[in-house]
Structure 1
């Protein structure tokens, strides 16, 4: 039986699920693995799946795809656009969309497994295919590891993964060394003293404290980080108050920090903490702010030798000039935990999902950032072809390059 990859992709796109809630998605994956005769285990790290293909002696190659979606209202206008809704960790009803392309990742991996199963006479070794939940929380890989995936399945000789991104369809972006930044997610709780909106002098206003903190945080990268270095400080969420005539007792900020290495992390974290505490002091806060690290992700570092070998294989199989160096991405990933905890090398690459003509037109006009939607945008949706075909070809090429 041959998988209809386009139908599979559009079905997954219509039915996105939030992190650690990917039960329908896992069911679709399990159905296809069963039809292909591939052994697998469900419910690893809550909703994850790991499958195994044993085919004689040889290396153990891990292939990974993530499968969760985002609380984003889809605005692509596609006839297979998502209208799904879900419940976020705070209990709020939210729109849900595959705004990061994880539906494409799942589809490409299933298509690659089908081809590898059908060509078992051409390779030998062991393939472990991991369908990981909750990448968007930076928690899914560690949840699977904590649930014993590295003990229940053969440990990898190499970990391979890919991510669809706003590059022209038909291209592969990969580089040796740091491919993606390290990151931390912080929640900052600023503690004031609430009261009536008509008597601000009797309060310590956390809304004003939050506003001052947000603005001062912007100076860390612009004034305290060397322009030659990479760092990002983003305040992605601010919550305070319930009514216009009540000054609340607290305000919460949610921050996303990015850096290339642990040394830069230490420097930026120190500066963020200093600014937060100083603004609280400047506001006369009677209680120190509370800073909580919600998640911490290491940099995604590609093995130098394995990356060179795979880049040559991509050019050989997919065509000379397919591979480009996209530079370091300031986005972050949790795929590297599989490699770090097992001691295996990692190669993680990007593949393009944007119509090449549209990309070229925007590039020529200097409007790439305006006209080409990026991951996490409500308008982000890869063109199905040739994105699907390249995604499958890349995974098959990568697996076979490291198998016997």
Structure 2
């Protein structure tokens, strides 16, 4: 990671030191710190009461109550359990800020006094699942409310339309699509810009990370059903062994990244599951493979998906499998598209954030191969510019100790993930408020 160089980015470092601006920065920071007891209570509530994807009914109700109390016009039930909150404040840009709301089926082991003890069911009906906000969506929601509170208190400093959305089902990659399919843009207007944030388990609290351009990956789930001819393990010559065929397919798939994709284009093909057979001496009739496929560009994505089909079917032909028994390849329809952070919006937002929290607290980050369905809001025909940044969540002392010792810190989705709530949330509110004020900045004649 490297520190963000504000002077190179915007060429206006000196202006950020003007006395009036410095006072405004201190004033907003001070207001956020004073608001912490309120935000702490809200964060604790969200953390203690997590809900799974498309089951965020109580969460959405609390979010709606918070935003209505600030004067937003709130509509619930968008995309299932999503909500849209709108505040108009004169002529100006239309800015959408998104938070996700769902939690994960994880049994919390943080030892926090407010640790989740919730047991619930998922949208498919599976019951008795422990539930935890192990990906920081409780932080995201609290930060969105905190940002709303700051922007309402500072309405004289911005102009335009502020659209805040609470999105369901990010963890299963379906929530953004559900909201768009339910008319997010057609019913509530197309934004000029989209912003979001996500906690980082790899940055200390108090630090904001950013990536311009591709930031997160296309995520595809692929299943390969391999058919063979089963039989007795003592007489393999009478069979067409799908386990051996599967092993050849897994090995050949490794050449997709190394030989079919430009070495400078990131790509991942991982076989995460290989299931077949029931007994030592029986050659099964079929084998099932489960893959995760990651890429940034749509062209590389298509190369990988086409290559999986080509390799699986031609390996089967080489094993003498007939055309009507070739492997069946299924690509999950609702994939997660790659997140592309608009460089111009990144430059603009990060200039404001660095002005607000200090250049030393902003870091450029490498892109990662994880996925986030926030990307979908920029994938419509309107091509709305978007930017998602990272809010460091690790207690700074623990971060420093881990860096010195080489210890691995709990990751997102870990039962041990416990963010430094106060520093993470107040920094996130500070950063998002600064970015929003920049986007919605009043013109001289406004």
Match of 1:274 among 300, 310, 323: 310
Deviation at 1:284, TM superposition (A): 5.7
Deviation at 1:313, TM superposition (A): 0.6
- Tell me: CA distance 1:24–1:378, structure 2 relative to 1, closer, same or farther (3 Å): same
Moved over 4 A (4+): 88-91, 192-216, 222-227, 237-251, 278-286
Comparing 268-277 with 281-290, greater Cα deviation is found at 281-290
The 2-side partners of 1:313 and 1:363 are apart by 29
Deviation at 1:38, TM superposition (A): 1.8
The 1-side partners of 2:338 and 2:314 are apart by 29
- Whether contact under 8 Å (2:53, 2:123) holds in the other structure is no
Match of residue 344 from structure 2: 305
* Equivalent residue runs for 1:1-400 within 5 Å: 4-88=38-122, 91-93=125-127, 94-166=129-201, 167-192=203-228, 210=246, 213-214=249-250, 216-218=252-254, 220-221=256-257, 225=261, 227-238=263-274, 250-281=286-317, 287-294=325-332, 295-341=334-380, 342-367=382-407, 371-400=408-437
The 2-side partners of 1:374 and 1:32 are apart by 30
Deviation at 1:212, TM superposition (A): 5.3
Query: Rg larger in 1 or in 2?
Result: 2
SS at match of 1:296: coil
- Whether contact under 8 Å (2:342, 2:386) holds in the other structure is yes
- Tell me: CA distance 1:277–1:396, structure 2 relative to 1, closer, same or farther (3 Å): same
Number of residue pairs matched? 400
1:198-246 per-position Cα deviation (integer Å, ceiling 9, x unaligned): 9887766656655554455445445655554311223344555788898
Deviation at 1:188, TM superposition (A): 2.7
Structure 2, gaps ≥5 residues long: 1-34
The 1-side partners of 2:160 and 2:187 are apart by 17
The 2-side partners of 1:17 and 1:243 are apart by 40
Deviation at 1:251, TM superposition (A): 4.2
- Tell me: CA distance 1:267–1:5, structure 2 relative to 1, closer, same or farther (3 Å): same
- Tell me: CA distance 1:122–1:253, structure 2 relative to 1, closer, same or farther (3 Å): same
The 2-side partners of 1:327 and 1:108 are apart by 24
- Whether contact under 8 Å (1:314, 1:322) holds in the other structure is no
- Whether contact under 8 Å (1:138, 1:297) holds in the other structure is yes
The 1-side partners of 2:75 and 2:145 are apart by 15
SS at match of 2:422: helix
SS at match of 2:116: coil
Per the normalisation by structure 2, the TM-score is 0.80
- Tell me: CA distance 1:234–1:7, structure 2 relative to 1, closer, same or farther (3 Å): farther
The 1-side partners of 2:281 and 2:109 are apart by 35
The 2-side partners of 1:131 and 1:86 are apart by 21
Deviation at 1:68, TM superposition (A): 1.6
- Whether contact under 8 Å (1:300, 1:332) holds in the other structure is yes
The 2-side partners of 1:91 and 1:242 are apart by 28
- Tell me: CA distance 1:322–1:186, structure 2 relative to 1, closer, same or farther (3 Å): same
Deviation at 1:283, TM superposition (A): 6.0
Deviation at 1:330, TM superposition (A): 1.2
SS at match of 2:44: helix
The 2-side partners of 1:149 and 1:138 are apart by 17
Structure 1, gaps ≥5 residues long: none
The 1-side partners of 2:130 and 2:234 are apart by 37
1:305-348 per-position Cα deviation (integer Å, ceiling 9, x unaligned): 22111111111111122221111121122212223323321121
- Tell me: CA distance 1:315–1:186, structure 2 relative to 1, closer, same or farther (3 Å): same
SS at match of 2:360: coil
Q: RMSD between aligned alpha carbons?
A: 2.8
The 2-side partners of 1:139 and 1:237 are apart by 23
- Whether contact under 8 Å (2:350, 2:435) holds in the other structure is no
- Whether contact under 8 Å (1:181, 1:299) holds in the other structure is yes
SS at match of 1:187: strand
